Amino acid sequence: MDERDVYRIKEGMRKVPAPILIAAAAVVFVLLFAKPWVTVGAGQRGVVLNFGAVQPMVLEEGLHFRVPVMQDVVLMDVKVQKAVTDTVAASADLQDVTSTLALNYHLVPDKANIVYQSIGAFFKERIIDPAILEVVKAVTARYTAEELITKRPQVSEAMRLALTDRLKDYNIAVDAFSIVAFSFSKVFAEAIEAKQTAEQLALKARRDLDRIKIEAEQKITAAKAEAESLRLQRANISADLIELRRIEANLKAIEKWNGILPQVTGSGGVPLIGVGDLKGK
């Protein structure tokens, strides 16, 4: 571009009417500084304000246009958020219980404008944290310290339901609730440990007693069976059986004799086997 071209541009601009130049400048100013658009990101909702007044419409995700100066858009996060809270409460038996609780929650998306209008952007500090503290104290007071341990799922569900009912009035939905940890005083913890030890020892003693009873019953059963067997054997013994057993014994003695008479002197004489039996025959 030479000097003649620059000159022609200047001459052309001089020929443009002033109102058009002012309008063009205004457009450039609005686009660069007034920002007549707003982008609502993922997991957000836009609350429209007309000169500070909250409007019924709620902007969803995407690009939206607004009237500069008159309208403003406040972005509200409607994704699931997590709140971890430490609380101290008293149980039904007046034991101090320290709890660590985790709550997952989110704003009801189409009620983001109402939340902003009635609570503001700091709803966690104003509504959620106090609600958790109050619910935990109320539910903990219904259980003894020992029940808080043995009935932990039931206690957690009771707290979740109570928080759900309480927060829904503020257009806050509860997604999940869990008891991360329970802790008690040192004295109570030692008492619980001693009780569990005693219960374990008592259970072992009961098991040993049951084992001894079973072994005794087995011995009694075996003795009864043996006594019954002997009784049956005695009932089957007769004179003929005795005579048969004696003859069998004499025959076994004869089979074992080698035919050599013992060399004996004196009045003893030669032993005869079954002589009485042979004479009888």
Q: Specify whether 55 is located in the same domain as 133.
A: no
Question: 184, 219, 238: which is the final residue of a domain?
Answer: 184
The per-residue pLDDT of the chain, averaged, comes to: 80
Whole-angstrom CA distances from 89 to 86, 104, 185, 191 are 10, 21, 12, 19
Q: Are 136 and 171 in contact (CB under 8 A)?
A: no
Q: Is 132 within the bounds of a domain? A: yes
Q: Residue 16 — pLDDT band, cuts 50, 70, 90?
A: low
pLDDT at 278: 44
Domain range holding 96?
81-184
Q: Specify whether 48 is located in the same domain as 127.
A: no
Look up residue 281 and give its amino acid: K
269: region left, alpha or beta (phi > 0 left; psi from -120 to 50 alpha): left
Q: Is 258 within the bounds of a domain? A: no
Q: Residue 46 — pLDDT band, cuts 50, 70, 90?
A: very high
pLDDT at 275: 46
The total of other beta-carbon atoms located within 10 Å of residue 39's CB is: 13
Structure pTM?
0.58
User: Are β-strands 71-77 and 44-50 bridged in parallel, bridged antiparallel, or unpaired?
Assistant: antiparallel
pLDDT at 225: 79
Q: Is 223 within the bounds of a domain? A: no
Q: Specify whether 178 is located in the same domain as 86.
A: yes
Q: Are 110 and 76 in contact (CB under 8 A)?
A: no
* Token pair 């430490």 in the structure block, residue: 86
Look up residue 269 and give its amino acid: G
Give mean pLDDT, residues 168-193. Answer: 84
94-117 residue pLDDT tens: 888 899 999 999 999 999 999 999
CATH number at residue 167: 3.30.479.30
pLDDT at 156: 93
Q: Specify whether 142 is located in the same domain as 111.
A: yes
pLDDT at 42: 93
Q: Is 251 within the bounds of a domain? A: no
Q: Specify whether 177 is located in the same domain as 85.
A: yes
Q: Is 202 within the bounds of a domain? A: no
| Distance separating alpha carbons of residues 210 and 221, to the nearest angstrom | 16
List of E strands, 41-168: 44-50, 53-59, 62-65, 71-77, 81-90, 96-107
pLDDT at 36 exceeding the cut of 90 = no
pLDDT at 255: 73
9-23, 133-147, 181-195, 255-269: range with highest mean pLDDT: 133-147
Q: Is 23 within the bounds of a domain? A: yes
Question: 184, 215, 238: which is the final residue of a domain?
Answer: 184
Q: Answer with the residue of higher pLDDT: 250 or 30.
A: 250
Kindly give the residue spans of alpha helices, DSSP state H, lying in 119-271: 123, 129-140, 145-150, 152-168, 186-236, 239-256
Q: Answer with the residue of higher pLDDT: 241 or 15.
A: 241
Q: Specify whether 22 is located in the same domain as 116.
A: no
Question: 165, 184, 203: which is the final residue of a domain?
Answer: 184
Residue 142 backbone dihedrals phi, psi, to 5 degrees: -90, -10
Q: Is 152 within the bounds of a domain? A: yes
Q: Specify whether 104 is located in the same domain as 159.
A: yes
Q: Specify whether 90 is located in the same domain as 152.
A: yes
Residue 82 backbone dihedrals phi, psi, to 5 degrees: -120, 135
DSSP 281: -
| Distance separating alpha carbons of residues 134 and 147, to the nearest angstrom | 20
pLDDT at 25 exceeding the cut of 80 = no
Q: Are 43 and 75 in contact (CB under 8 A)?
A: no
Give mean pLDDT, residues 182-192. Answer: 74
Q: Specify whether 141 is located in the same domain as 123.
A: yes
Q: Is 270 within the bounds of a domain? A: no
Whole-angstrom CA distances from 216 to 180, 193, 220, 224, 227 are 50, 35, 6, 12, 16
Q: Specify whether 86 is located in the same domain as 179.
A: yes
107: region left, alpha or beta (phi > 0 left; psi from -120 to 50 alpha): beta
Q: Specify whether 72 is located in the same domain as 85.
A: no
Q: Which residues contact 136 (CB under 8 A, 6 or more apart)?
A: 87, 89, 99, 101, 159
pLDDT at 276: 46
Structure-token pair, residue 131: 């609600």
Q: Specify whether 30 is located in the same domain as 47.
A: no
When divided into structural domains, the chain yields a total of 3
